[in-house]
Chains A and B, each alone.
Chain A
C-alpha cells in the first residue's frame, strides 16, 4: 500500500491531469451547457500539471514496478505537452464558438490526449509506450473528425484512423518480436540485452517495425503521406496540437526507445534513420514550395522539421538529444503561434487559407502580421529566433557523429525553406490588399500567442534557459 501511495505521489503531474480529465467528463455529463465549465477545469488542470512537471524536473525516479519514469525527461516533455494542450484549449475555444459547435467533449479529449502523450514520454516499458500511443491516438482520431457534418473532416479522420491503426499493427509486431528475443518489455532489460541480440534477425526486424511505426507518428518520409491531408481537414487548433504535442510525444517515445533502450550509435539502425531524415528534409521542403494552402504548407514544413530532428536521433549523441529537446520545446511555441494566427484569419467555410488571402495583412493588422512574421522567421531558422538554435544543435550533433553529409543536406534544405516562409511575409508586407481577421481574436488567445512570440525571441537570445534544464537527465 505504501508503495502504491508513493508511486502515485511521484507521478502527480500525470495523476492530477487524469483526475482533472475525469472530473471534466463528469461535469460535462452532469447537464447541458457545461462546455464553459469544462473548458476552465481543463485549462486549470493543464496549468497545474505544467507547474508540477516543472517542480519535478530534478528528481528522476521510476514508479509502478519500473513501468513509468517520473521527473527529468518525462517532466520536461510533460511541460511541452501541457503547454501545447493549454495553447490548443485556448485556440479551440474561440474557434469552436465562431462555428457555434462548442462542446465540452472537445476539451476533455484534448486533456486525455495530453495524458496519453505524458505516458509516452514517461514510459520505460514497451507496454506503457503502446498504451500511451493509443490513448493519444484514439483521442486524436475523434478530434480530427469532430466537425462531423463536414466532409473534409470525415475524410481526414478516416485517413488518419485507418493509417494510424495500420501502424499500430507494425508497432505491436515490433514490440512482440523484441519481447520474443529479449524476453522482457522493460527498457532496462532491453538495454542490457542489446549488445547480445542486436544482430539477431528477429530483433532487427522488430526494431525496423518500430522505426516504421515511429516514422509514421512523427510524419517522416516515406510514411508522411497522411500528414498533409489530415492537417488540412482537421480543425485548425487540432492541426496545431498534432503538429506540436503529438510530434513531441512521438519524438519523446522515439528518443526513449532508440537512445534509451537501444544503443544505436554507428549501427545500421542509425543509418536507416539518417536516410529517413535526409528524405524528410528534402521532400518536405521541396513539396512545401508548391503548396498554395497554408495548412498544407505547414504540414509539409512539419515533415521537414521532423527530418531535422531525426538527424539528431541518428547522430545518437548528447548534442543530438539536447538538440531534439530544445528543438521540440521551441517548435511547439512557434508552430502553435503560427497556427493560432492562421485560425483567426480563416473563415468559417475553410477559405482564406491561401497565400493570396494574406495580401496587405500588415496594413490592416500590423501587430498580428508582426507576430506571424516572428513565427515564420523562427520556423525558417533565421537568427536571433529560437528556431535557429534548434537547427544549430541537431546539425552540430550530426557533424560530431560523422554524418556531415546529413548536416549539409539539412543546411541546404533550410535555405530552400526560407523561400516559402518568407513568401508569406512578403505577401503580408509588400502586396497591396485588404486581408484582415474575421473578428478580433479572443483576449486570452491573443495574450497566449503574444507570449509564445516573446518566448520564441527569448529562447533565441538565451538558448541556455532550456539547455540548462535538460542537462540533468539526458540518456546519453
Chain B
C-alpha cells in the first residue's frame, strides 16, 4: 500500500531540498549591501510611520467574535438546502424559526451598539 506513495514522497523530498538549497545558495553567493532604506519595512512605497508590532484595538475582537458566531451558523444551511425538497414544509418552518432566533440575536447585538465602530 505505502509503496504506491513512494513517488510522491520522492517528489516532496526533492521539492523541500531544492527550496532549501536555493535559499542557502542565495545567502552565500549573493552580495549584501544593506542600507537604512533597504532595511525598513516594505509598505508598498509608503513611508512606514511606526512599529507594526503594536496591540490591536479591542474593537477588532468584537467584530471578529460576531463574525465567527453568525458565520458558523451557515453550516446548518448547507445540509438543509441540499435536503430541502425531502424535508418539505417542516424543514422550511424549522429553518425559519432558526433564522428568527438568529435575527433576535442580531437585533440585540445591533441595539447594544456592538456593530458601531466608535
Contact = CB atoms under 8 A, between A and B. Distances in A.
Interface string A30-44: 110000000000000
B108 A25 contact: yes
A1 B90 contact: yes
B89 interface: yes
B90 A29 contact: no
Contact of A1 (B89, B104, B107, B112): B89
How many interface residues does chain B have, given as a range?
10 to 19
Interface in B55-89: 89
The SS class assigned to the B binding surface is helix
Contacts of B108: 25-26, 28-29
B107 A4 contact: no
B13 interface: no
B111 interface: yes
B111 A1 contact: no
Nearest to B109: A29
B115 interface: no
Contacts of A30: 111
A22 B93 contact: no
Contact of B111 (A3, A22, A29): A29
A66 to B, nearest CB: 16
B41 to A, nearest CB: 35
Given A28-B108, A30-B111, A22 B90 contact: no
A29 B107 contact: yes
Contacts of B107: 26, 29
Contacts of B94: 4
Contacts of A1: 89-90, 93
Contacts of A31: 111
Interface of B: 89-90, 93-94, 101, 104-105, 107-108, 110-112
8 contacts: A1-B89, A1-B90, A3-B90, A4-B94, A25-B104, A25-B108, A26-B107, A29-B110
